[in-house]
Amino acid sequence: MSFFKLYIDRRVYDTPGAVAIRSRLGAPSVIVQDAGEVFEAVSSANDPVRKGKESLFLTRNKGAFVRTCPGTRHYTCCGYRILHIGTFCSMDCSYCILQSYFHPPMLQYFVNQDEMLAELDLMFSEKSVSRIGTGEFTDSMIWEWTGLSELLVPKFSGQSHAVLELKTKTNAVKSLKQLNHNRKTILAWSLNTNEVIASEERHTASLSARLRAAAACESWGYPLAFHFDPMIIYDGCEEAYTRVAEQIFSYVSADNIVWISLGSFRFMPSLKPIIQKRFPRSKIVYGEFIPGLDGKMRYFKPLRISLYRRMASRIKEIAPNVSVYFCMEDDEVWEKSLGFIPSERGGLPRMLDESAVKHCQLTAASEIEI
């Protein structure tokens, strides 16, 4: 991994985590007194998003490492937890909400990992199933060069109540091969069609490379997951997405897939001008959108349902026992696309907890609270 600029918070400069990363990068660094110096340098650039991807700021997480996914009361949330290990991403997807979520968008990596491990110990002490992932504010696997997975995967392997999901658009999985995971880490890929990957997902691994990486992880004993989010609606998209679904099962076994999620492109209005400026050839913001109850622009609901129904039907034809769920959709979408609503099955969090218990050798559902 290379960066044009490496910034280090003076408070962490001599900590073991920062020293290890400085040694691995072997790059000159700028010691800063506070984050404001770094943010000003990024914000003043002509393209702050690009500048933020070319710089790395080593600092400490001053808040909680373990967080609850905020969700929204208007749409069904999966009850996920977030492990906040850093921010932003070195890849460059046109639709990425992080471009407008952070002010400014900046690659940050938190080196106070002793505090992170202490928070995980507290979570492990809970007598309930926990599903947690590092991919909410960053891609889970762009940090492989830091040794993060070598820290987290064995940590999760030694307990029986929680599962870690590492979600990525990369094929950077070599470091996972020799790790003791005890099936407590799920390797997950964000997938899209070849057309969308080529036009909207700069610097990501190809679809075939992602699926080959998934096959490798399966051969090493890891459970898998796949996320079609965001699905982009365009001419021929239904056939294209179902072809991707079919490809999954030509690479890996349905029996080893913990879940597959579906979600369509949605965005806050503030993201639109950023996409138009940074990706002038992209057409994704010109679809048939209406404001959702959460303030985000969403595809007209019948369009979403049509795509979901076709996709879910094909997945179920091939793998009837694989858990398929929607990310942030309402009961009408669930009923018209899958034929049921989550509350009929105990709620979406419970559905996913049960799938995690089944595939990841967690303590039996009857012995803990799910």
Q: Say which CATH number the domain at 244 has.
A: 3.80.30.30
Tokens 């977030």: give the residue: 82
Model pTM? 0.95
Residue 93 lies in a domain: no
Is 365 strand, coil or helix?
helix
User: For strand 289-291 and strand 297-299, is the pairing parallel, antiparallel, or unpaired?
Assistant: antiparallel
Q: What domain range is 69 assigned to?
A: 65-85+113-367
Residue 103 lies in a domain: no
Residue 253 lies in a domain: yes
Residue 45 lies in a domain: no
CA atoms within 13 A on the CB side of 100: 17
User: What local confidence, expressed as pLDDT, does residue 366 receive?
Assistant: 47
Residue 327 lies in a domain: yes
- Nearest alpha carbon to residue 3 among 84, 94, 86, 90: 90
Structural domain count, the chain: 1
Which regions in the chain score pLDDT beneath 50?
Answer: 365-366, 368
Residue 138 lies in a domain: yes
Residue 304 lies in a domain: yes
DSSP string, 96-128: -THHHHSSS--EEEE--HHHHHHHHHHHHTSSB
Contact 236, 243 (CB under 8 A): no
User: What local confidence, expressed as pLDDT, does residue 78 receive?
Assistant: 85
Residue 17 lies in a domain: no
